[in-house]
Structure 1
Amino acid sequence: MKFIPFGWKLFISYLVFIILPVVILGYTANSILVDSMRTQTITNLQGTLAQMRDNVSYKLRDTERISDMLYYDEALALSLRSSEEGWISYEKTSTTLLPKFRQAVESTNQKLWLSIYLRDLNLPEVYYDAGPVDLLKVKGKYFDVYHVNRIQFEDWYRNFPPEKYGKTMKWSQVDDDKQFERISLLRRLVNTLDPLDLKEIGFIRGSIYLSELFESMDYNKIGPGSRIEVVDHNGQKMYNSSELNAEGHSVKRNESASSELIIHEEIPELDWSITAYVPQGILEKGVQKVTQLTLSICFLFIVLISAVAAYFSRYISKRFGKLISVLVMFQQGDYHKRIHYKGTDEFTLIADALNKMGEQTEHLIGEVYETNLKKKQAELESLQAQINPHFLYNTLSSISRLAKFGRVEQQHEMVMNLAKFYRLTLNDGQTIISIYKELEQVKAYLDIQKVKYGDRMEVDFDIDPEILGYETIKLILQPFIENALEHAWCGDRIYIRIIGEQREDKIIFQIIDDGIGMKSQHAQSLLKKDRIKPKGYGICNVHERIQLSFGEEYGVTIYSQLGIGTNITIIIPVQKMDEISPMKSDFG
């Protein structure tokens, strides 16, 4: 049979060598253009931030200019260097000092609070006493006149640097500046008439709002999603402008963010720094069009080249798709699906082989499943059949003894309880019953034993009512109670406690007695299938039936100590019986 080999069909892969040069050329051209536009964008952003810094510096210098008006005013210095009392002092204040201070405040468009502290205590103080109210916000700009002894014990005044003519000044937050978000220019008034003896004659404090100082720092000038922060020399954030902050939300910056461009500018007058955090999206905004154009051109070439190969790839992919779908179904355990191809090529041979393999595997799985199912059912029926004859023999022996001694009432009661027990045990041949019926069965068995042992036997139930509607295999509790009543007596009495509860997806029963107990080795041997001694076979029986029905993670565990007693733990899964309606517990 002649056909085109599968390997020849893969020649389409060589189209990569045609597409690759197009991709490399487009990538190289795009990289050059993108780098150029990114550089231009960064330069523009740096220029914008520098302009913001210049605006801040202008406002700072404007405040310094106002202080220069007072610092270099010789008439003011002449008025403050001499001290007179009485009418002369009042006239000097009203005709010389106050007009000059008012003129200085009125010469700026900023909101400015000018506080003048004078050495001459003979001059009167002129100020507003507004308590905790921020007068600068109310008045916009004004001035106060105080005596210097009001600030002589302030640290910022005492630690003010030595005077250098025309140069000594300092921007700082003092007194209530932090509370009202202001900053103050601090500067001495000295006797400028004698530059060799710059004696202090007063002190200037000019306060302005940080919000007004940094008014030009708007994140919108950088771009959406950006933020601008002003940090002092101690690293404390003094101002922030961002989209979240503008909406009234708190702003928390991710210090480890690697997708932001960070630009710094220094404010020399304050020794503060301005930092702009620019999202990568802003940088990419200018290059998106270039990238899209490059991609469009490359895409057109690739589409034209790929169109030729589309027909061949579709032909091959359809055949591969059918094979893969069959293999996936086989992997999931479904061997019913078959596949057929026209023609005589490799796909036809593979399809025939897969069809035969699926048919054979499905047949083998069916045989193995049916065999295992029959084997498991036979084991369960065999184990179930071991329980009843043993119990029936012991009970009939007890009834015989009661008849022998003429105890008719007790004999009748035991016969009725035995009938009830076997009615519950048979349960129309069902091996799966509700926990409620299983406990009813235990109670019927205990009623039988109560006739036999009387007050020497004490039994307590501690059952969670929520578990009564779940299902279990039958006769998993009675064999352990029977075993305790046969072998666990310590003296002439015994106490047995039966506990049932749900823990996550498991139902846990515990049967606890205060009998003679047993050695740990003997307790573990009771669960082994290959035991030689027939004593306690019911325990192993229950353990095997639980594992056959629910799996090896469930079953029976035994903990016992000689002279103390035995604790039997039985674990089964939580399985709800839909036909069982909620019922009242009789096993509290």
Structure 2
Amino acid sequence: MNIARWFKNIKFIYKLMVGYVIFAILPMIIVTGYNSQKTKNILLEESYRNMRQSLGQIGQNLDSSLEAYKTVMDILYTNQMFNGYLVKDYTNSDYWEMFSYIDNLLSSIMLVESNIAGISIYSNNDTLPSDNYYFYNEKELNQDWLKSALSSKGNPQVAGIISKGKKNYVALERLLNYYHYSDVRNILLLKIDGSSFNDQIKITNSNQEVYWVNGQGQIMASSDKEVIGKGMGSITENWEDIPVSGKGSSLDIEGISKICTARSSLYGTRLIMMVNQESLVEATREVARDIILIFFVSSVGMFLSIYLYSRWISGRVNKVVYAAKKLGDGEFDYLLKDMGKDEIGIIAAAINTLNSKIQLLIAENYEKKLKIKSSEMNLLQEQINPHFLYNALSVISSMAMREGGKKTMMSVRYLANFYRISLNKGKQVVSVQEEVELLQNYMKIQMLRFEDTVEINYEVDRKALAFRTIKLLLQPLVENAIHHGRKDEEQILHIRVTVALTKDRLIFEVKDDGIGIETEKFERLRKELKNSEEGYGLKNVDIRVKLNYGEQYGVSVSSTYGTGTCVRVEIPQVFS
């Protein structure tokens, strides 16, 4: 099936509808889907970034606290007298002196560090009295904690959670082997108020979950206090696979997709943050649904409008076609009535005129008169007074201002100012100041179109403003930079316009940081400028400069592909 032929042969109304589906509905569906996916990806990237920032801040706070407790452990770890009392044989000795010293030492530490709820020593020194306050037998220590302390070789470890009623404490342990010179071993254990760690990982977003786990996967602190003390495996078995650096990962937890990221903390601990992915993209889905609903309603309205409008147009076109058939059949007395003054009405009026005069045009002078009429119409079109355009633009600007069309008003006003200067009562020479104003009005119009993607700066020597120049010298150069220099629609094009004076010349320079000119095209352009071949843009400016001021003046171009282009125009210094 030949689609082009089928489309050509179907009725006008169906052409409009097919065109609307292909060029409006399908692109809108594609754009909506693309934007939804793009927005979703942006939200996920932003969420990962925010999660990493939040986790980094929480981690810094936790590490600061742990460093403070490490300092306490370091004081006890390196205290020779303290360790000497712990390894001493008290079989035949009194231990009151030892108890008094250690009690004063540990009490003063807990007084300074209010979050330390208790300091305990677990020892295999059977002669050391077990008071179940400071001193405990090593056998009373959780065996997993004991193994962890022994394998740490004197480094602090986060052992786990100690629960008493509704109160949770985080246990920090350390093997006291700094002055190890006997078979006696002692394990220092700090009992830290767990609420101090929970306070440091508070979150403001209800969709976020934060967990602080030790090396064995036990949850030390969490945004959900109900899971403190449980294993991270109860949340997800894949918690160890969450990367501690980079972007993060996505996990399916109890049928809910969550994005996760992690951060290493001191003493083998890890911070894990999770966010419900569905909550992040729900806003995107709502926007997409709203867009689809609005598009559906507008499409139905557009379809109905197209149908009714095309029926009306088709009816009028059919009348014109019928009249044309009558004309083809030689019935020159058939006239179309009440056809309006739009394009179809003009065609109908032309047919009526043709019908009225066809008999006269059949004669020998028909073709000659038709050519004369065509020539006359073209001549009239070329002779339209350009000042009428300026006056009409001023009227349109006033109407747009009264009706609230600010951008329309500004655009028309800038265009009116452009023509006011460019017309200049037919004069081809203007002052440099007028030429700069002409460019500025042109750029104001362009800024309404390109907005922030084009930036222009002016460096004009005030002494040069009084000199004269041919009209429309700068505007083609800037227009050329905008249309040929932009790398893409998003990257900002910077243009610098310079007007300067040398010893006896007036220099105009337009420099941009755009894409530049390829070597082959640049060499061809330089050859065309050198030979003064006819053309537009740079060649047109160069020809006009040489015709007005002589061959020693004109346009020069320098360009580096990928970096930018600089166009320089030199003319003599003329006051009048």
TM-score, reference length from structure 2: 0.38
TM-score, reference length from structure 1: 0.37
Which structure has more relative contact order (CA 8 Å, sep 6+)? It is 1
State the structure with more CA Rg.
1
